Amino acid sequence: MKRKKLIVGNWKMNGLKSDLVHIIDISEHAAAHPNADVALCVPTTLIEAAGKISNYVAIGAQDCHAHNDGAHTGCVSATMVAECGARYVIVGHSERRTDQGESNADVKAKAQAVMARNMCAIVCIGESEDQRNSGNAIAIVIEQLNLSLPDVDNIDGALCIAYEPIWAIGTGRIPNMDEVAEMHLAIRQALIIKYGESAHDIHILYGGSMNGDNAQELLSIAHVDGGLVGGASLRATKFTPVIAAASRA
Ligand code: PGA
């Protein structure tokens, strides 16, 4: 089955109200490339305002708490970001796994909370440079995946996986195409074991220094169903070539 490519921008801790103009710009460019789906995961503070101005780009959050409410100072729940208009939530990004010490069990609980609120969970996984050099990257990433995957009966378009080698994030370096191909195939096989035939509907995104120069080649690889894009998603001038490549792929 051919999946329409999905390009998700991850703005990380970037973006003030004055940057909403860039979302309008990106949305207009996305409209010109209807063969790709586009989402932007913005800071929590911008979710609601971004949703009101982006007609062709779905808005998402970058994290949420696994619990619905309670004594968790400073956290926001899946219900809260859904109420603001989020349709996607990134969970388990390597920056959160490292900076906030999130475990695979935390990521799994968050993904389940997101899916229970009818949003799409983007579950991030990926190896460190040492793990890549050890020659065991596939086994390590698949174990991380299996421990992070939500236990749900029905996927129904509400789960994406983002494979992001940690050493490729923000560095301008990417794995070679064979390495990406074998990792994405291994991820698909693990998803089929977990979810059966519905695993074919899950988008497996590549993330880590994806940009207008490498997107076409990366998106031509089997089981690369889109991208999670950080730095290159902040401005339409850099993001549009990635969206265009996805629309052509
Ligand atoms: P990058 O970030 O595109 O800037 O490498 C990707 C990510 O961390 O999701």
Ligand 1, atom 1: closest residue by C-alpha:
230
φ, ψ dihedrals at 216, nearest 5°:
-60, -45
Q: Which amino acid is at 198?
A: S
Q: Mind giving me the DSSP string for 28-82?
A: HHHHT-TTEEEEEE--GGGHHHHHHH-SSSEEEES--BSSSSSS-TT--BHHHHH
From the CA of 171, give the closest atom in ligand 1: 5
Residue of 13, 214, 229 best suited for mutating to test ligand 1, as the one with most atoms within 8 Å of CB: 229
Distance 198 CA to ligand 1 centre (A): 28
User: Collapsing DSSP states into helix, strand and coil, what is residue 147?
Assistant: helix
If you average pLDDT over residues 4-31, what whole number do you get?
96
Handedness of CA 203, 224, 105, 142 (dihedral sign): positive
pLDDT at residue 153, as a whole number: 85
In order of start, what are the domains of the chain with their CATH numbers?
Answer: 5-22+32-234 (3.20.20.70)
Distance 153 CA to ligand 1 centre (A): 31
Cβ < 6 A, ligand 1 pocket: 10, 164, 169-170, 207-210, 228-232
Q: Around 13, how many Cα atoms within 13 Å sit in the side-chain half-sphere?
A: 2
Residue of 95, 99, 123, 210 best suited for mutating to test ligand 1, as the one with most atoms within 8 Å of CB: 210
Q: What is the C-alpha separation between 181 and 126, in angstroms, rounded?
A: 14
pLDDT at residue 240, as a whole number: 96
Residue range 87-111, pLDDT digits in tens: 999 999 999 999 999 999 999 999 9
Q: Which residues pair with 89 in a beta bridge?
A: 61, 121
Q: What is the C-alpha separation between 170 and 192, in angstroms, rounded?
A: 31
Residue range 117-163, pLDDT digits in tens: 999 999 999 999 999 999 999 999 999 999 999 999 888 889 999 99
Q: Is 129 a catalytic residue?
A: no
Distance 101 CA to ligand 1 centre (A): 19
Distance 230 CA to ligand 1 centre (A): 4
% of the chain exceeding 70 in pLDDT: 99
Ligand 1, atom 6: closest residue by C-alpha:
230
Residue range 59-68, pLDDT digits in tens: 999 999 999 9
Residue range 41-58, pLDDT digits in tens: 999 999 999 999 999 999
Distance 79 CA to ligand 1 centre (A): 26
Q: Is 164 a catalytic residue?
A: yes
Q: What is the pTM of this model?
A: 0.97
Q: Which amino acid is at 219?
A: L
Residue 26: pLDDT band (50, 70, 90) is very high
Q: What is the average pLDDT value for the chain, to the nearest integer?
A: 96
Residue of 161, 169, 206, 214 best suited for mutating to test ligand 1, as the one with most atoms within 8 Å of CB: 169
Q: What is the C-alpha separation between 116 and 223, in angstroms, rounded?
A: 26
Helix (H) or strand (E) holding 229: strand 226-229
pLDDT at residue 157, as a whole number: 85
